[in-house]
Amino acid sequence: MKIGIAGLGIYLPKTKMTAKEISKQTKGVWSEEAVIHKLGIIEKTIPAKGDGTQEMGVKAALDALEDAGMQPEEIDVILCMGEEWKEYPLTTSALYIQGQIGAKNAWGIDVQNRCCTSISALKMAKDMLLADEDVNAVMVVGGYRNGDFVDYTDADMSFMYNLSAGAGAVILKKGLHKNLLLGSHIKGDGRFARDAGVEIGGINVPFTAENVAEGYKSLRIMNSKHMKDGLNQISMPNWYECIDQALKKSGFSRKDIDYCSILHIKKSMHNLMLKELGLEETQAIYLSNYGHMGQVDQILSLKLALEAGKVKEGSVILSIAAGIGYVWAANVIRWGEHKG
């Protein structure tokens, strides 16, 4: 049974934060030039009024339905990959989106895998479509604005200065013989589960009258030495394992990749990864004008690649992600009509 992508949706806030403004927020520790050339941020999207995580998800969902030429009643399941930082804690984003877009025949659930959530949710969606005869269309959708929590004066957090805002959506359909979602591979290592996160505002360190302001800027590395020392040894090997396994499951190898849909990371690492995969810079899009909107990056990259003509009929697309926690992921998409 073939599972294909019927539609893609994106929502991008109109408000931007420039490299110069990021530099100013670091109090000059990072120069504008360093933000651009080392961190790879020319500008990034930031939320304006009304750009809540759930509301942005609604807009991306509507965009995906329009792209697919589908009615909301055709969606059977909504898997929300949007972040936990949202308009109201303990509300279910998938169900809010379901209600707002009128997908009255769908049930929904929120899933979380940090910046790997889109790839993980797409695997879950495909598995559901293959396993359940009553499920014919699944929407993976969600918004992201974790950049709200970044303290630009925290030097340990420079790798998260790129956190931006936006939303994405993908509709998968059973029996669709085009834009096929092929193999996926995901690997996690729970030894790093609490090395990074929002430190204040949960059960262990609850909000108090004294720490509220700090709490809303407390996305930080809580165990810096453990995280950095540990990940330096295993991160890239784990990532390449996911890539090679996803390609193998799909009947491909690195030489078959036409386009790499990659999350925003610092430019040197981006270039290193492309070189390791045997790809040219033209076979990816560096998101220097968008920043890193978490698990939306892969959807945005694919959408931009289609608009730029980098993805064509028959293109083999490798999507890759990694998220704090720690988790690595990859999947493979074969774009265009499938003749077999």
pLDDT in tens, the chain (340 residues): 999 999 999 999 999 999 999 999 999 999 999 999 999 999 999 999 999 999 999 999 999 999 999 999 999 999 999 999 999 999 999 999 999 999 999 999 999 999 999 999 999 999 999 999 999 999 999 999 999 999 999 999 999 999 999 999 999 999 999 999 999 999 999 999 999 999 999 999 999 999 999 999 999 999 999 999 999 999 999 999 999 999 999 999 999 999 999 999 999 999 999 999 999 999 999 999 999 999 999 999 999 999 999 999 999 999 999 999 999 999 999 999 987 6
* Torsion angle of the four alpha carbons 36, 38, 39, 45, in this order, in degrees rounded to the nearest 10: 10
How would you classify the pairing of strands 327-337 and 178-188?
Answer: antiparallel
- Cα dist from 237 to 161, 232, 249, 285, 329, whole Å: 25, 10, 18, 23, 12
> In a 10 Å sphere around its CB, with 0-12 CB exposed, 13-18 middle and 19+ buried, how is residue 113 labelled?
buried
pLDDT for 129 equals 98
**63/151 Cα distance (integer angstroms):** 33
Please state, in angstroms and rounded to a whole number, the distance separating the CA atoms of residues 187 and 333.
Answer: 19
What is the per-residue pLDDT for 42?
98
Say what the pLDDT of residue 307 is: 98
Q: How far apart are CA 177 and CA 180, in angstroms?
A: 7
Q: What is the pLDDT of residue 339?
A: 77
Task: For 145-248, list the strands marked E by DSSP.
Answer: 166-174, 178-188, 196-198, 219-221
pLDDT of residue 338: 87
Q: Are 184 and 331 in contact (CB under 8 A)?
A: yes
Cis peptide bond prior to 326, omega within 30° of 0? yes
Q: What is the pLDDT of residue 340?
A: 66
Dig out the tokens for 287 from the structure. Answer: 């998101």
Distances (CA, A) of 156 to 34, 50, 147, 171, 321: 16, 30, 15, 37, 21
- Across the chain, the runs of DSSP E, i.e. the strands, are 3-11, 16-18, 43-45, 77-80, 107-110, 137-144, 166-174, 178-188, 196-198, 219-221, 259-262, 316-323, 327-337
Cβ atoms within 10 A of the Cβ of 257, count?
A: 21
- One DSSP character per residue, 28-43 reads TSS-HHHHHHTS--SE
Question: Cβ-count burial of 217 within 10 angstroms (0-12 exposed, 13-18 middle, 19+ buried)?
Answer: middle
How far apart CA 327 and CA 192 sit, in angstroms, is: 9
Tokens of 41: 């941020």
Residue 231 φ then ψ, to 5°: -70, -30
pLDDT tens digits, one per residue of 178-197: 999 999 999 999 999 999 99
Contact 80, 110 (CB under 8 A): yes
Q: Output the pLDDT for position 76.
A: 99
Longest CA span, the chain: 64
